[in-house]
Structure 1
Amino acid sequence: MSDGWRLPRKEQRVWVSLAGIVTQVVIAGAAAVTALLVAAAGSSSALRDGLLVFALSTTVTALLNFMPFVKLDGYIALMSHLDIPHLRDLSMTDARRFVARMLFGGRYRRELPQVSWAVGFGLACMLFPLYLVAVAAGLWLPMVQGTGVTGAAVVLAGAAYVLYLMSTGTGRLVKEARAGGARLRRISGVGLLAALAVGAVLTFVRVPYTVDGGYVRDLDGTRLVLSEVADLDAIEDGAEVTLRRGGLVTRTDTGSAVIGDGRARRTTAPLSAFVPVAEGRTSRCPRWASR
């Protein structure tokens, strides 16, 4: 792609940037058509399902690649079309200065005064990665937690990284405010109000508490299985349990159950009870009977 910047016309650079996305769409379409042909021929359903999953995942990847809010092909195509180097960074700078002016006052210089939508684009560039992280956490957090201590370490590392990003973003915002002439008294006051608001939300807003785990079915019935780091104290007799079948990108409710009488005991369970893998592997975890 770096050689593409040597092309004399910006339209040529745009097409070079979009070449990868077009290739992904063509491959996804070919896989989908092949899956239909396999189904029509009555061949292996596993092959058909594999092709469909590949086509769907490739399509989703192409759509994500087309989004201009992260430094992928879609952003490079937009930057090439506008012929503005560092479009994303400059837009985020304008967005930070806009937020700083709203919160702290002061005067700020626009980096992209010729682009009327630069502030909105910059805000989207700052928020879109957080949205992706939130979606990924909602999909994969239960799976990661099911792996025990390793999963807990991964979750803590991810939370620490998010806090790091938030702290660095706040630092940049305050730096922009100080450079724009905002008063330290107002900056401190806004920071205090923000801290009080966060504290009030954490204190008074009740969030439903759930414990993620897996379940297995055998001759004795349906058994709830939890990892070694799960909160067993939150598991009470008679508590309702929602049974789901989860994949890498989707989750489907399959039924419900109620925690029965009994004590948790240490045992092993298939790893597929927690993560979408083939049957056969087991993982050590406490188990709580349910009916």
Structure 2
Amino acid sequence: MAMVDERLRAPELADNVRMREMPDSQPIRWVISAGTDRYFRVGADLAELARALDGTRGVDDLCATLGDRWDRDRVLGGLGVLETMQVLTDEDGASPPTRQSRVRFIPPLTVQISLIGTAVHRILPGPSTREMGTAPRRLVALAAAVVAVVALGCFATLVPTTIDALATKIDLGVLATVIAVSLVATAVHEYMHAWALSRYGGRVNRMGVMLFYLVPAFFCDISDAWTLDSRRRRVVVAVAGGSVQAVVFAATAIAGVCARQGGASDGVVTTLALVSATSIVMVVVNLVPFVKLDGYIALMSATDIPNLRDKSLSAFADRVRAVLFGTPAAAPLRPWLPRFGAACALVPVGLVYLAVSNWSGALAATGAVGDTIVMLLTCYLLLIVVAVIRRTVARARADGAGLVRTVVVGVLGAAVVVGVLGGVDVTRTASVSYLRTGDTTLLVSTDRATLARIGAGREVTLLTNGVVLHHRVGRAETRAGVASARFPLSAVLPTRSPDLITPGYAVVVEATLDPSAPSSGLARVEVGRTSLGRDLVDRYLWPASMRGGATDLWRWMTR
């Protein structure tokens, strides 16, 4: 739709737009909602203009209706703001489309799939006007604090059990139980967000599943919390989900200690310890305010700054442009916003790196298909970096940055990147598994190329193959020759799985193992050093299977 101008004769709010007046205690007293996921807090003047848009008044009529404070320029300016919000009908009187896709991509690396819409309210309580008094609220808080202290003390005694379980092979039954409990707790976590919002009179628009930085999770859209009449209620809605994992943590930590004292089996104690550890980690991660998790929503609600992350990133970008290009930087809304924006910019970078590095190994095991996925994902992330640099330079030039300084900054930045990628050396390692059978120790793998790359005379570090942790249990030296072999699948997995036999390859090694070392575990071998840039290219941009496939294609085309 074209920008609002003199031709807009009778502006009208779209059918899916709703306006809600907040209590007198709120600094911004009006909320405009459009559809199911767009909310705008506006001042009294813009709300007054929006309420007058019934489709029967032109610009001149609006000036007369609104009074002497409103002239044509002010009305047109307000209509321009509403047009930017996309809350007006188009020239034909049609409302903007309200149907939302079930699948949404949220940069840089989140995909949401909506499974339940507003129908979720069939399983939610209605609004309640009952409020807990001050004395009961303090009593509940005191009881929660006592339980938390007891639970933390119990968990401290379970830490050695937890570390041992994470550093050694784990039973499939224990692992399946921990995963199942975590999934159920996460689903209830999202339901509690919806429950709290519904109790306060808000509406849940969407619930579903998502890939959050390539990690499967659930989500609940609580955007309607902005229509609640107090900051405290919005904060309660934001942290209601985390209370589920907190309760699971406390219950399993206390139960774990009781089970151990009662003589329960090691499997039961280990399961309770792992569920407790997983729950407290999820509580802590959810409270991190630098990505759009519960902690961020709570902080945004407590500070009463909508779009806190976007405003912080903008303030940080202003400071960066001011330092690099000498452009003026507007004073931030709060002094701490630029520092918060820096953290909001850096933490997702770390999450993306962890996601790509963790998944690249698993995908690489599938061969060329997995390597292709890793390459495409890396190219997408590089395009994001290029787009950010391009926007930064364009904004700096628009703000008056000189051409010479812009070029100098660009050249120096490129030189630093090239220097780091080419001048920093990293050690390349190959990860396989070791298997001890009688007096013989083997390095085993289902990938022959990995074992062949190791070669003879290499020093090998032998470790436990835990789900998360790996403790050193010995060392070895490789001999020459890769041979076909058959070995238990459990030798290459971090679980105590049934002894299924799988074909693969093996290399004999001279090993020195600790007496308590398990019969199989992880083996890491240094296979050389290379530049950081070459290592990143070989792992993410042009993996070995891609190079081999390209070579085969070239040979076929030129034969």
- TM tier relative to shorter chain: 0.7 to 0.9
- The structure with the larger Rg is 2
Residue 12 of structure 1: aligned partner: 233
- After superposition, residues 1-291 of structure 1 pair within 5 angstroms as 1-110=222-331, 113-135=332-354, 145=364, 148-149=367-368, 152-153=371-372, 155-219=374-438, 221-228=440-447, 230-232=449-451, 234-260=453-479, 262-280=480-498, 285-291=504-510
- How far apart are 1:123 and its partner, in Å? 0.7
Does the CA-based 8 Å contact 1:266-1:287 persist in structure 2?
yes
Does the CA-based 8 Å contact 2:448-2:482 persist in structure 1?
no
Normalized per residue, the structure richer in strand is 2
CA distance in 2: counterparts of 1:155 and 1:275, whole angstroms: 22
Does the CA-based 8 Å contact 2:356-2:374 persist in structure 1?
no
Q: Which moved more, 1:36-45 or 1:121-130?
A: 36-45
| Matched-pair identity in % | 35
Structure 2 CA distance for partners of 1:5 and 1:43, relative to 1, 3 Å: same
Does the CA-based 8 Å contact 1:146-1:226 persist in structure 2?
no
- How far apart are 1:18 and its partner, in Å? 1.2
CA distance in 1: counterparts of 2:501 and 2:412, whole angstroms: 50
Q: How many residues align?
A: 288
CA distance in 2: counterparts of 1:215 and 1:144, whole angstroms: 22
* Partner amino acid, structure 1, of 2:267: A
CA distance in 1: counterparts of 2:434 and 2:369, whole angstroms: 20
Q: Which moved more, 1:163-172 or 1:75-84?
A: 163-172
RMSD: 2.7
Higher relative contact order (CA 8 A, sep 6+): 1
TM-score by length of 2: 0.47
SS at match of 2:427: coil
Does the CA-based 8 Å contact 1:145-1:212 persist in structure 2?
no
- Unaligned runs of 5+ residues in structure 1 are none
- How far apart are 1:85 and its partner, in Å? 0.3
Structure 2 CA distance for partners of 1:161 and 1:222, relative to 1, 3 Å: farther
* Partner amino acid, structure 2, of 1:55: S
Structure 2 CA distance for partners of 1:78 and 1:123, relative to 1, 3 Å: same
Does the CA-based 8 Å contact 1:228-1:286 persist in structure 2?
yes
Does the CA-based 8 Å contact 1:245-1:251 persist in structure 2?
yes
- Unaligned runs of 5+ residues in structure 2 are 1-221, 511-559
TM-score by length of 1: 0.86
SS at match of 1:54: helix
Structure 2 CA distance for partners of 1:216 and 1:102, relative to 1, 3 Å: same
